[in-house]
Amino acid sequence: MDMTESEKAEVKACLDRGEPLPEKFRWKLFAQPRETELIWPGKTGEVTNVVLPFQVIEHVDEPRVESEATTGDLFAAGQKSGRQSAGWTNKLIWGDNKLVLSSLKNGPLRREIEAAGGLKLVYIDPPFDVGADFSVDVEVGDEILEKEPSVVEQFAYNDTWRRSPDSYLAMMYERLSHIHSLLARNGSLFLHCDWHMSGLLRSVLDEIFGRPNFRNEIYWYYYNKMPDTRKGVFPRATDTIFWYAKDREADYAFEPLTEPREKSVKQLARVKVGGKMINARDDEGNVIYNERTERVVDNVWRLSMLQPADRTENLFYATQKPEHLLQRTITACSGRGDLVADFFCGSGTTLAVAEKLGRKWIGCDLGRFAIHTSRKRLIGVQRELKKENKPYRAFEILNLGKYERQYFAGIDPTLPEEQRRVLSIQKEEHYVGLILAAYKAERVFQSPPFHGRKGAVFVFVGPIDAPVTGYAIAEAVEAAKKLGATQVDVLGFEFEMGLIPRAAEEARAKGVRIAVRNIPKDVFDKRAVDKGQVIFYDVAYLDVKMKVKGREAAVTLSDFAVSYRQEDADMLAGEMRPGASKVTVDGGQVVKITKDKKGIVSREVLTKQWTDWIDYWSVDFDYHSKQEIIVVTAADASGKMVNRRQWTGGYIFENEWQSFRTRRDRKLELTSAAHEYPAKGHYHIAVKVIDIFGNDTTKVVEVAV
């Protein structure tokens, strides 16, 4: 360290006074970087390396085909199965991609990835538009409802931008570091961005992947964009895609592409003579020309962008890209059977194209609506491939479930179960306080089993790592009777299957009204709590009817209700200008608020019937047939980290029949196809309904056949 005594004294004086060191000491106190690197305040090379177990919540294998629509006799034909029995199952993961990537990289699923040949291609299209709101347009009848992003999405993306580009770079640095580690040695990364951060991201990629591994800077020219000259600049009509190889010396995949020319051209024929390329000539010495109807694809991709009128591909997803853009990427840099991934998968474009091209895939997104949009899209691809007698793979929907909640609550998920249980008890007060603060309720200690009170209403907070049970609600109802209370609010992350209607009816018979509400992920974001933006919605109500004949059973949806609220309709009407209209959600209904030119406000309810709230529903005819087994990485008695398989106490939803709305077909079947059971007996049928906001509700019914 080359420092004079006076400089050392100056450093000590600054430290004693608690003052920051002058800039001149940066290069004297710390090792010089090996090469040019991008520096920002708070930059660190440390990344999250937590390993959380993945929970499989749904499995989608053999899709129903369109011709199975239920008309006439419900029991005309049972379902035939051609289900995938072995091999890689594609994965659609709901959760924070930082935790997902860390758990993939360091956890037991890494071996499954390696067994599938390793991760060969990652395409990501992270948010890069300053001020983007990430809202989604949802069709309700003939109207469009703008679904606002969840608080989690708002803070994860928008707030990251608004704080500073430094926080965005820190977010991307950690995720790109994980992706680099997870990629196979002969794998590639494609990062899609635009002018906002392309220069800075190029420097970050150089640092993580190494400048020699840079392969191309691709410019996507969307020639059909409507030009806007009002901003005083040349209209922008390009995005940038950076392509990096994990190791350019490895045998990474690359297949040159060609595309048709609008008009054929004549080109000189070339031959190699004596190690040099020269013009080819015929026997008479004339230069030979070839007529070319194709051209080699270079690094400027002239491809159309999605247009609003496109009803075949456009899902109105804010960051959706056209499929032909991904077709080029996946075709050029992966082969059939290779594993590709998209950790900002949005509407599932990468995954849909990968499936059509015969690739295996992993997709991940923080947004619940994105996962639902991708699920519908991928089932649609499965149906198309099945109809054409082409191969397709099963896929499963996973999340980090209770382990993600434990992580946010400060509980180390790698500890042995008994230690985690003890730590959960120690952390319970902090956890309960967190939930009650978000719910705006006060803590109470003298009225067990209740944790809080909101006015005259007692509040029960369910556990962080288990569903709220019927026994727990029954205990709360009995306690309320003894205290003379008539209202109880039950808050939980998950609830025992089929619990809600039964518990509400039993409580009402005893003179107690219970409101059962979901605890949103937003409670773990202090900024959301501080701003009062956390919303606890009532658990949706779902009712079904069963028709059983011999060993066959079919399901009919009979009722569904939600209690969402997006904006206060009266406040919205007061802010609107005369002649304007807006569609919103208020009191569990989608309503259109219109203010005429005289200022008179009218309100039209668009959800005319309960079925208008349903976007998708599916059935598992033998729900208890497949236990949910997870692999937990934890320390044994000697402190060694080992993997253990254990049953979570839950079951995997096998998606055996489904009906859903698409942009082209808004109809929804309300009765499933008949399912034939192999033998007489008692079976549990699970029915999953997903509403127009992407939230799911499940009901389990036992039948005897």
Quick one: pLDDT at residue 329? 98
User: Can you give the CATH number for the domain in which 117 is found?
Assistant: 3.40.50.150
> What are the structure tokens assigned to 386, written together?
């099945």
Cis peptide preceding 22, ω within 30 of 0: no
Question: What's the pLDDT score for residue 251?
Answer: 92
Please work out, in degrees rounded to the nearest 5, the angle formed at the alpha carbon of residue 375 by the alpha carbons of 369 and 379.
155
Please determine, for residue 64, whether its predicted confidence score (pLDDT) is greater than 60: yes
Domain co-membership, 523 together with 559: no
Longest dimension (CA), the chain: 110
pLDDT of residue 138 exceeding 80, the answer is no
Q: Helices in 315-367 by DSSP H: which ranges?
A: 323-333, 349-356
Mean pLDDT of 271-282: 90
Q: If residue 397 lies in a helix (H) or strand (E), which one and from where to where? A: strand 395-399
Helix (H) or strand (E) holding 483: helix 470-483
Instruction: Please indicate, yes or no, whether residues 545 and 638 belong to a single structural domain of this protein.
Output: yes
Cβ neighbours of residue 669 under 8 Å, at least 6 residues apart? 69, 70, 659
Question: What is the span of the domain harbouring residue 375?
Answer: 55-65+87-257+297-399
Place of tokens 């899209």: 377
Per-residue pLDDT band for 575 (boundaries 50, 70, 90) equals: confident
In a domain, residue 269? The reply is no
Are residues 553 and 496 both part of a single domain? Answer: no
Range in 31-45, 156-170, 657-671 the model is least confident about: 156-170
Instruction: Find the CATH number of the domain harbouring 488.
Output: 3.40.1350
Q: Which residue has the tokens 């029995």?
A: 85
450 and 350, same structural domain? no
Helix (H, G, I), strand (E, B) or coil at 683: strand
Range of 25-29, 307-311, 459-463, 629-633 with top mean pLDDT: 459-463
Element (H, E) at 162: helix 159-163
Q: Is residue 34 part of a domain?
A: no
Spatial neighbors of 102 by CB under 8 A, at least 6 apart, are: 47, 48, 49, 50, 51, 52, 178
- The CA-atom distances, in angstroms, between 127 and each of 172, 184, 569, 666 are 10, 25, 30, 30
What is the value of pTM for the model shown? Answer: 0.84
Q: Is the pLDDT of residue 65 over 60?
A: no
Give tens-digit pLDDT for 429-444.
888 999 999 999 999 9
Q: Do 95 and 175 fall into the same domain? A: yes
pLDDT for residue 452: 96
Q: Are the C-beta atoms of residues 506 and 477 closer than 8 Å to each other? A: yes
pLDDT at 149: 65
- Among 227-231, 370-374, 412-416, which is the least confidently predicted range? 412-416
Say yes or no to pLDDT of 409 above 80: no
The upper half-sphere exposure of residue 24, i.e. CA atoms within 13 Å in the direction of its Cβ, equals: 6
Residue 465 clears pLDDT 80, i.e. is over it: no
**H or E segment to which residue 91 belongs:** strand 90-94
Contact of 194 with 128, CB cutoff 8 Å: yes
The residue count of the chain comes to: 705
Query: Could you tell me if 596 and 641 lie in one domain?
Result: yes
Q: Report how many domains make up the chain.
A: 3
What's the pLDDT band for 331 if we cut at 50, 70, 90?
A: very high
pLDDT for residue 59 is more than 80: yes
HEC string for 146-165: EECCCHHHHHHHHHHHHHCH
Q: How far apart are CA 634 and CA 636, in angstroms?
A: 7
Please check the confidence at residue 140 and state whether its pLDDT lies above 60.
yes
Q: pLDDT tens digit string along 93-102? A: 998 899 999 9
Distance CA 312, CA 528 (A): 37
Amino acid letter, residue 534: V
Share of the chain above pLDDT 70, in %: 91
Residue 169 is assigned to a structural domain of this protein: yes
Confidence of residue 704 (pLDDT cuts 50, 70, 90): very high
Query: Average pLDDT, stretch 44-59?
Result: 88
What DSSP state is assigned to residue 577? P
Asked if residue 440 is part of any domain, the answer here is: yes
More confident call, 316 vs 262? 262
pLDDT the model gives residue 70: 42
As a whole number of angstroms, the distance between CA 128 and CA 325 comes to 18
Residues 472 and 506 in one domain: yes
Whether residues 248 and 340 share a domain: the answer is yes
CA-closest candidate to residue 473, choices 451, 449, 457, 442:
449
Note whether 476 and 563 are same-domain residues. Answer: no
Lookup: tokens for 453: 């009170």
Q: Is 5 a member of any domain?
A: no
What is the model's pLDDT at position 163? 58
pLDDT at residue 246, as a whole number: 97
pLDDT at 157 over 60: no
Q: Compute the distance between CA of residue 649 and CA of residue 152 in angstroms, rounded to an integer.
A: 28
Same structural domain, 156 and 305:
yes
- Write down the pLDDT at residue 74: 43
Q: What is the pLDDT of residue 226?
A: 82
Average pLDDT over the chain, rounded to an integer = 86
- Please check whether residues 113 and 167 belong to one and the same domain: yes
User: Is 72 domain-assigned?
Assistant: no
Return d(Cα 150, Cα 135) in angstroms, integer: 9
Same domain, 679 and 588: yes
Per the domain annotation, does 101 fall within a domain? yes
Within 419-512, strands assigned E span 442-443, 452-454, 457-461, 487-492
**Is 491:461 a contact under the CB 8 Å cutoff?**
yes
Q: Which residues of 483-502 are buried (b: 16+ CB within 10 A; e: fewer)?
A: eebebbbbbbbbbbbbbbee
Tell me the residue type at 574. Answer: G
> How far does the chain reach from its first CA to its final CA, in angstroms?
82
pLDDT at 693 (0 to 100): 84
**DSSP string over 102-170:** HHHHHSTHHHHHHHTT-EEEEEE-----TT----EEEEETTEEEEEPPPHHHIIIIIHHHHH-HHHHHH
Domain boundary among 530, 565, 592: 530
CA atoms within 13 Å, Cβ hemisphere of 171: 20
Selected residue with higher pLDDT from 234 and 1 = 234
- 3 occurs within a structural domain: no
The stretch 440-457 carries a mean pLDDT of 94
pLDDT tens digits for range 502-545:
788 889 999 999 999 999 888 888 878 888 888 898 888 899 99
The proportion of the chain whose per-residue pLDDT surpasses 90, expressed as a percent, equals: 47
